[in-house]
Amino acid sequence: MRVERIGLAILHLGDALEIVPSLAGVGAVITDPPYGMGFQSNHREVAHAPIANDGDDAMLQWACGIPVSHSRYVFCRWDNLGSVPPPKSCITWVKNNWSMGDLDHEHARQTEVALFWPGPAHDWPKKRPTDVVHAPRTGNEWHPTEKPVVLMEQFCEWTRGTVLDPFMGSGTTGVACANLGRRFYGVEIDPKHFDSACKRIENAYRQTRLFA
């Protein structure tokens, strides 16, 4: 297992199922786990590799139960709702484009959802947020399901304590935490994505030092 410490971030290369139980003081989980899409991007000149453990929703179900003190935000598809505990809220991310999907029998999807569960010490750090957020999608240059930093910053600002992303991918949640001065635990099983996360989070801290 490889561990990197960058600023307020501690990043682990390895299996989240093995690593997360050893992490102390998790305030919030903000994550986009594998949830059974079997996703592989083929719409780029250099296609992304398949996402690890994305054959079923076992990792999604596990992520929904990680112990936290403050809150838990977990991305998924609307059709995963039947396999997870009922959330307190569903947060809808509205993007600036939409997916292709079934052109004849399905509305064009312009949204993704994240499920919210409050922890025992939950409160709103600022004013009570709405359940709709707007952020333009990325070009998925770093990861096939990459989230925009501005989106993850909004999620982080709804939480307190150390943020954990047990499926950090290319590290967008860690970048958001670096920008906001928040402590972060990240876990990633794919060495290539782990290296990308380390690079992006280090660059984020370099920028914050530059403008401090």
pLDDT of res. 97: 78
65 pLDDT more than 80: yes
Banded pLDDT at 7 (limits 50, 70, 90): very high
79 pLDDT more than 80: yes
> What would the pLDDT profile of 25-55 be if each residue is shown by its tens digit?
999 999 999 976 554 444 434 444 444 544 5
- Lowest mean pLDDT, pick from 30-39, 88-97, 195-204: 30-39
Rounded Cα distance, 172 and 32, in Å = 11
Note the Cα 17 to chain centre separation in Å: 16
pLDDT of res. 139: 53
pLDDT of res. 43: 42
Residue of 78 and 35 predicted with greater confidence: 78
pLDDT of res. 102: 80
Q: What is the mean pLDDT of residues 86-91?
A: 98
Q: What is the mean pLDDT of residues 185-191?
A: 97
> What would the pLDDT profile of 110-164 be if each residue is shown by its tens digit?
899 999 999 999 999 999 999 999 998 765 564 466 899 999 999 999 999 999 9
91 pLDDT more than 70: yes
Element (H, E) at 16: helix 16-19
Residue 80 phi, psi dihedral angles, 5° rounding? -85, -10
Element (H, E) at 152: helix 149-156
> What would the pLDDT profile of 162-186 be if each residue is shown by its tens digit?
999 999 999 999 999 999 999 999 9
**Residue-range domains of the chain with CATH:** 2-210 (3.40.50.150)
pTM: 0.86
pLDDT of res. 40: 40
Element (H, E) at 149: helix 149-156
Rounded Cα distance, 95 and 198, in Å = 26
